[in-house]
Amino acid sequence: MSFTVAIVGRPNVGKSTLFNRLVGSRLALVDDQPGVTRDRREGKARLGDIDFTVVDTAGLEDSGAQSLSGRMRAQTEAALADADAIFFLIDARSGPLPADKGFAELVRRAGKPVVVVANKSEGKAGGAGALEAYRLGLGAPVAISAEHGEGLSSLYDALRAALPEATELPAETDHEPGIDPAAPEVIRVAVVGRPNVGKSTLINYLLGEERLLTGPEAGITRDSIAVPLQWQGRDFLIYDTAGMRRRSKIDQKLEKLSAADALNAIRFAHVVVVLMDSEHAFEEQDLRIADLAEREGRALVIAMSKSDLMPKQADALKKLREETDHWLPQVKGVPVVAVSGVTGQGVDRLLRAVTESHAVWNKRVSTAALNRWLGDTLAQHPPPAVSGRRLKLNYITQPKARPPSFILSCTRADALPDAYRRYLINGLRDAFDLPGTPIRLTLREKENPFAGRKRRAG
C-alpha cells in the first residue's frame, strides 16, 4: 500500500538531510544556513523493506500569513494535510525549544500518526536532548543521526508501529522464501568482517550448498546477499556482506558502494556476527567493525574463523574469551565461538549463540527489580561527591529493549563521572544477565520544583 510521510520541524533541524538519506540521493539542498528549503519536495523513499513517498518541507516559523515565511508555512501545513504520517524533527543537541512546543500543537491538531525524531543524536550531547522530547507529548522520541545514518532501524520500527496496516507487506510477500510466516520472529543476522576471513564459505556450509561465490581472492562479495535458513525450528535470514576495510584504503567507487551496503546490513540486522581470522584476530579493523555494531545497538557474536587451523590447546578458547573482554570491554561477556566454514566445526554453537544473543537483546527488566538493584548498588558504592556536593540517583526504568535501554533519574546529570556510569552499566549487565549486548543508560536530570521561585525573607 502506498502512503506519504511529511518531514516537518523548525529550520535547521536536519529535515533535508533525512529526506536525502531516505531517498538515497542528494535531491534536497543541505546547508548550515537556516531556511534553505522553501517549497515542498517529494521523493520515493525506502526504509528497510518499506517503500513510500516522503515530503521535505520548509522550516516552521511564526510569521504573518502574507510574508515569505508565512507562505512557506502554508506550504508545510498543506503537506501535513496530505500526509498519512508525520516525522516531527527536533535537534537533539539543543533539545525541544519553545518554538518546537508550539509547533508540536500544530502537528497534534493535524490528527495524523506522528513519530518524534530527535535528529543529531550522535555523541553524548544528543542523548539528553532526545529524552527531553518526551515533554512534547507526542510519544517516545526516536534518536537518529540523519547525517551518519544512525538509528534508522529504530525509525523503521516506529514507522511500522505508526502505520501498521500501510506498512504490512502483502500476504504473498510477507516473508522471505523458505520462511514460515506463522513462526516466531525471523532473526536477521549480518555476517561481517575484513576481506577474505571466510564469510561466504561459512554461510555456504550453513546452507549445505555452494549458494555464494567463494575463492582465495579478497573482495569477491560485493552486494549484501540475504539467504533464508532454518535451524532447530527457528528461522533466520543471513546476510553475507562485502569485506570491510579501513576507509582510508578504499579508493574505488564500487568498493565504496559495497562497504555502504555492508553498513546498511548492520543497521537493519538483529544480530551481527563479527567474523575474525583466528590467526590474526583483534586487528584494528576488527575492533572498529565490532564497535560500529555496538554503536548501532545490534546484538553481537564474535566468531573466530578457520578454527580447524587453530592450535589444539585445552585453554585456547579461554584465552580468546579473555582477549575479547580485554579488547571489547563495551560488550563484556559477548559470545565467542570458534568456527570453520570448511569442516563445519562450531556452526551449531554459532547459531545457538546467535539465538541466545537475540533473546538477551530483547530482554526487559521490571521497574521494581531495577529499583531494588539501584538501592543495593548505592548502598554498596554510592556515587562520588563532585565539588563537595553529593549526587542523587533517584529512580531507574527501562523504556525499551533492542537493545536494553535504561533511563536513570538523577540530579546534576552532567557531573556523574564516566567511571561511575560504566560501573552502573556493568552492574546492570551482571545483575540481570545481559552479557555481550549493548546497554544504553541515559541520565535524565530531575527538575527542581523550586527553580525560579524567589526566596522568602527570613
The rounded percent of the chain whose pLDDT value lies above 70 is 76
CATH code for the part of the protein at 367-445: 3.30.300.20
- Where in the chain do CATH 3.30.300.20 domains reside? 367-445
Q: Which residues contact 49 (CB under 8 A, 6 or more apart)?
A: 169
Question: Nearest 10 degrees: CA dihedral of 65, 71, 77, 83?
Answer: 170
The number of residues making up the chain comes to 458
Distance CA 124, CA 136 (A): 21
375: which 3 cell numbers?
Answer: 538501592
72 CB-side CA count, 13 A: 21
Q: How far apart are CA 6 and CA 162, in angstroms?
A: 13
Helix 98-109 with 68-82: angle, nearest 10 deg: 40
Q: Strand pairing partners for 238?
A: 189, 227
How far is CA 44 from its chain centroid? Answer: 23
Q: Per DSSP, what are the bridge partners of residue 189? A: 238, 271
| Residue range 333-346: mean pLDDT, rounded | 90
Using DSSP, state whether 86 is helix, strand or coil: strand
Q: With bands split at pLDDT 50, 70 and 90, how would you rate the model's confidence at 396?
A: very high
Report if pTM > 0.95: no
| Average pLDDT estimate for 56-75 | 59
Q: Over the stretch 242-291, which tens digit does the pLDDT of each residue have?
A: 767 555 444 444 445 456 667 878 888 899 999 998 888 899 889 999 99
Pick the closest to residue 196 from 175, 173, 213 (CA basis): 213
Closest CA relative to residue 208, chosen from 337, 309, 344, 304: 344
Residues of the chain with CATH 3.40.50.300: 4-162, 180-361
How would you class 366 by CB atoms within 10 Å of its CB: exposed for 0-12, middle for 13-18, buried for 19 or more? exposed
CA distance 275 to 272: 9
**CATH number for the domain whose boundaries are 4-162:** 3.40.50.300
End-to-end CA distance of the chain: 68
The pLDDT tens digits for 21-63 are 888 766 544 444 444 343 567 888 888 878 899 988 876 655 5
Give the model confidence (pLDDT) of 116-136 as tens digits: 999 988 866 666 667 778 888
pLDDT tens-digit readout, 169-217: 554 444 444 444 445 788 999 999 888 888 888 888 888 776 554 444 4
DSSP state of 94: T
Homologous superfamily, domain 180-361: P-loop containing nucleotide triphosphate hydrolases (3.40.50.300)
Instruction: Considering only CA atoms, give the Rg of the chain.
Output: 24
